[in-house]
Structure 1
Amino acid sequence: MENLEDINKGKNTAIISYLTIIGTIIAVLMNNENKSEFASFHVRQALGINLLYLMLSYIIGGFDSWMISISFWVAMFALWVYGFIGALNGEKKESPIFGRFFQNIFKSL
């Protein structure tokens, strides 16, 4: 079981991290002041989802196909909802497919 005190300390920061890339940046700064492993986990997940969105949206935009665009939007929204619901519920669940990668690449946060 997770440390309930750590979850309560970092829950607001974790939730803020999923509110656009600006929210992620704010959450990084908030977590630097009051370090929480729970918040750090969600900051890494949210940062990964936001950067993945920015990188792939540029590529997907070049296809000029509404079917590919809709599929991309649905997949990104599903990743976002998965992380956001986890933060709301006080759970540390990695995003499907990319979660472990996000945790490894951003482990310094």
Structure 2
Amino acid sequence: MNTIESGKTAAITSYILGIGVFIAMSMNAEDKNAFASFHIRQALGLFLTFISLGLIVNNFDSLMISIPMWIFVFMLWSYGMLTAVKGETKPVPLLGELYQKWFKSIS
């Protein structure tokens, strides 16, 4: 429980816009907190997914494609933020396990 409470601020911060990931990484640099690291990896993955999908969807210039992408990313982001606030380490659906694997060097 102490690990969760001490890492909760960095975990929640990581979900705030794109810059929050980097702020949380600096907050977690000295006292490597496993809870914060988990959520930093999730938030970084979500941010990169958002950028990647945005670059692809931008080529179509269609609201019929853009709106579902925004909803998809928002739902995953909301899930990640809620688990951080509740003190849980549940990966986001569909991609969360991959984020943990891809960014395992971030601790």
Q: TM-score range by the shorter chain?
A: over 0.9
Would you say 1:57 and 2:57 are equivalent positions? Answer: no
Q: 1:19 aligns with which of 13, 16, 22?
A: 16
Superposition TM-score, scaled by structure 2 size: 0.97
1:33 corresponding residue in structure 2: 30
Q: Aligned partner of 2:79: which letter?
A: Y
Q: 1:90 aligns with which of 87, 91, 99?
A: 87
Taking the TM superposition and a 5 Å limit, the aligned residue runs for 1:62-81 are 62-81=59-78
Structure 1: state its 5+ residue gaps: none
Cα distance in 1, alignment partners of residues 64 and 31 from structure 2: 43
State, as a whole percentage, how many aligned pairs show the same letter: 48
Cα distance in 1, alignment partners of residues 41 and 4 from structure 2: 15
Shift of 1:97: 0.6
Shift of 1:23: 0.6
Higher helix share: 1
Secondary structure of the residue aligned to 2:29 is helix
Shift of 1:18: 0.1
Runs of 4+, deviation exceeding 4 Å: none
1:26-70 Cα offsets, whole Å, 9 max, x none, are 101111122110000000000000011011101001111101100
Cα distance in 1, alignment partners of residues 9 and 31 from structure 2: 11
